[in-house]
Every structure is written in structure tokens, then in C-alpha cells.
Amino acid sequence: MTKISEPFSVMTVSNDVTTFGDMCVQPGPTATSVIVTHDSMSASLIEIDDDRAVKVRTWHTKLTSPFTCPVVYDPTKEQYIAVYRRTISFISPEETSSVKRKSVQLACAPYRVLSRPHDEPLVVFQDGSLFTLTAACNGACSSVDASEQVVHVELNTTDKATFVLTVTDAGSEHKCKLVRADSADVSIVFSVSLTTLLCSSKMLSCCLSNGKPLILLSDGTLAVVTENGHSEIGKLSEDILPSARTKIFALDAQRILVVSQDRLVIWALPLQTCEASQLVKVRQAALIGNLVFLLRPDLLLSCVLLSVGPTQLSRLVGLGAARSNETASDSLDAPGTRKEMCLDMGKAALEPSEDQLVLTVRNLLCNKLDESAMNAALNTPYSADRLLHSLQHGISLDEAKALIGYLLSFLESYSLGDSVPMQKALDWLCCIIDAHLPRLLLSNKEEVGHLLDRACRVVEGVQKLFVDLDHVEQWLLSQRLGQLKFDSSALYTIEIMEI
């Protein structure tokens, strides 16, 4: 089950942190701790315990040497690394005010310092050149190439090595460079030009997915870059509007986190679908483990827990097939025959998330996929109370109107051979109207009036149908026709036939 939890507050930070060029939150010495540089004069070690943040301790710096980069942790020396222009300072975990910090002057001011979980940090300079902390302190970088300016840096640690992606602006073109960093050695995997890729769209963000550069363009296109060029692997749905602040983070080999100005989205790459979503205003973001740290417009730092599970509902209804003109079965990457796959998916979806179910229906409405996929989603088991709550927060008013219209059309043309039981369709209709009734009443009165009048007519028709069916049931259960007394005439006749 894939889920985005509700955000909880960590602390309020200063506007200084927006000048760092990087998120003010960095990984700490343990898996449950982070370092927050909350202004240019102080940084704190924060322990994340369930859904609350606990401040462990705080370090300060002098007015004459403010932080110009977020503070990071060096696990090899068990020290914290602070940067002021060209000066690297080493902070002891148990430092007191009387202890003088050890400092080293670099030849050039670093662009960023990247922490690694088991090795010393990496130092990235303004032209995209990369060195280990020891090499940088020993004068490995003597000058910076002024013709190139780094615009994005991303680090991804795998089981074998650490990969660093740098994108630089060389004036006439953008260059993408993938670097492999071992314990003490840094080597270039490849360096390619992005001129062809960026000829019609701008680059908004990039990340490393399973050691491969993945780039998001301004039109929502996602492209993978290799040493031989690039290839488009999909496109975000139209309801996810990319902007200059949109960022992407790799969650695993098949999913990315898309952070826009007002929304978090977990996007499945193979199926090209949204698995989970959360509405929240965001200024900057960072992904550390399964925690997403969000800097709000009011400078409140918040944290969101991600739960990433198997893509149950997306596989169940075959989402993503319509985008590439494939059949639903072709879009599934699980082995086996269609019958075996359907059985496996049915078992996997016995206890789905109502949030994920609503997002699946929302995707189907937005993308106008086939009716069989919508029927499969509507037939999925759910709790009415949780479904009502998910419908309140998971879809917009326009999407609610579209869903009501779809359900009314389904009920108007209902027959006993339909794959979705009438009771389920009525439950969905009741839940969506209850979830959005206040907003419906405050919106366009004429449009909503027609919609609600239509709903009343449909419900009355369903009631009449059940009355007629009840009469038929009474007759079938009786021994003699004379025992029945019909209160009203119906549009059918009953004849006794001997076979």
C-alpha cells in the first residue's frame, strides 16, 4: 500500500536558508536523525520520533563567519562540516563554547557539500568539479572554470557505489555529467550534452533513479539520459502542472516523488499513473530515507512520512495502457498468463487503501480510460466511512461533479447484466454527494440544481424498480397467484407456463 501521511511540524526557520541553494535539512548520524541549518548562524540536530521532532542539541557560529551551505555530517571522522565561503570548519558533536574549531581554507568556494552514509562527504564546486573532502582540503581544486556554472547536483547511493549527477550551464548548452564516487576515488561515468533534449522545453528538475539520470521537462515529459543520448519514458498527467519550483526524487527503480508548489505526488513510471497524492503548499523539499521535509511559504519546516508498497490498484485496473496504445495486460510487468495475473491482483487488492482507490478513480476520470477499468475500480472492496473521508480530501469539486455524472449515467442505463452491482453504484453516489454537498450548494446554483434534480429522478427510478422486483419476488415465493394483491399496476405481465 502506497500512502503519504499527514505532515507534522519540525520547526520554524529563518529566511536565510533560502539563500543556500540547497534544502536546509541534511541526513544526520543515525537513520532517524537530521541536521537542520535553521538560519545562517545556527544549526540543530533533530531526532524524528514517530510523528514528532525532538531537538537534541544546537551549534552556533560567529557573526563574522555565517553558514553559506547547510551543515552536513562526516561519518568517517564523526564530525559535522560547516562552510563559510572558502572556509571548511569541523564541529565536534560534544563541542563546548571554549573549544576552537579546526578550519581549512579551500582554493575556491564550494557550491555544495554532499554527505554520504558511510564515507566522507563530497565537495562540489561552482563549475561542477567534484572531490572528496580530504582531497579538497589538500588543495585538489586549484581553480574553477568560469565558463561553466552548476545548476543542479544530485547524489544517489547504491549497494556498490555513490553516483553524483551534475548539470552545468555552459552558456550555449547544458551538460549532464554522471560521476561514480568510491571511498577515495572519483571517476566520470559519462558526460553528454542536453542541447537536443532541451531544444523545445526547459529542464525543471532531475534525479538519479537506480543510478540513471532522470530529467523532468517543463511540458511534463520524463526522460532518461545515458551516454548514448536520451529517451523519453513517459509524461506526467495534465492535472500535475509542473512549474519552475517542481522537483522530482527517486523512491525506487519504478517510482518517483513529484513535489510541486501545492502538491506531493507518488508517480509510477512503468504504468504512468499517480499512486498517492497530498495537497500541501511547498517552497522547497528534501527526501531523506522515507521522510520528506517540506519548507512551507511561511518558513515552517514540516515532515511527511512516505509508505511505499506494491502498486495494487494500478495493476488491477491496467492503468497506463491507454497512454501507449497498449492493452491493459501489456502494461503489467508481472509474469504469467492473464488469468493468473488477475487472480494474483484480486488477492492483492482485498484490503486496498481508500485513498489509493479514490486516486485511481480520479485518474480514470481525468484520462477518460475505458469503462471496464472504471468498473473494476468501483467493484474494489472499501469501507464507506473511509471512502467518504477520502472523497472529501482526494478530489476537487469539478472531479466530484464528473464522478456524479458518471454514476448517474450508469444507473440510468443499469441492467442486471452489468458488472457493477447497483448497490455499489448507489453507495458511491451517496458517498460522493455527502462528501461534497456543502461545496456543491455554494457553487453554480443552476448547474448543481440540474445535477441534483437528475440524481433525484434516478433514485426515484431505482425505487420503482425495486418495488417491481419485490412484487415479482412475492409472486415467485407464493404457491398460488390468488394469494397476491398488487397495490399498483406495473409495465409487465406474469404468465404461468408449464415446461
| Res 326: pLDDT | 37
| Res 342: pLDDT | 54
Answer whether residue 437 shows pLDDT above 80. Answer: yes
| Res 146: pLDDT | 73
Domain boundaries defined on the chain? 354-477
- Residues 305, 309, 313, 318: what is their CA dihedral angle, to the nearest 10 degrees? 120
Answer whether residue 343 shows pLDDT above 70. Answer: no
Answer whether residue 99 shows pLDDT above 50. Answer: yes
| Res 320: pLDDT | 41
Q: What is the pLDDT of residues 56-71, one digit of tens each?
A: 999 888 888 899 999 9
Q: What is the pLDDT of residues 160-171, one digit of tens each?
A: 678 888 888 877
| Res 292: pLDDT | 94
- Residues 353, 359, 365, 370: what is their CA dihedral angle, to the nearest 10 degrees? -50
| Res 485: pLDDT | 56
Distance CA 416, CA 151 (A): 60
Q: What is the pLDDT of residues 246-264, one digit of tens each?
A: 999 999 888 899 999 888 9
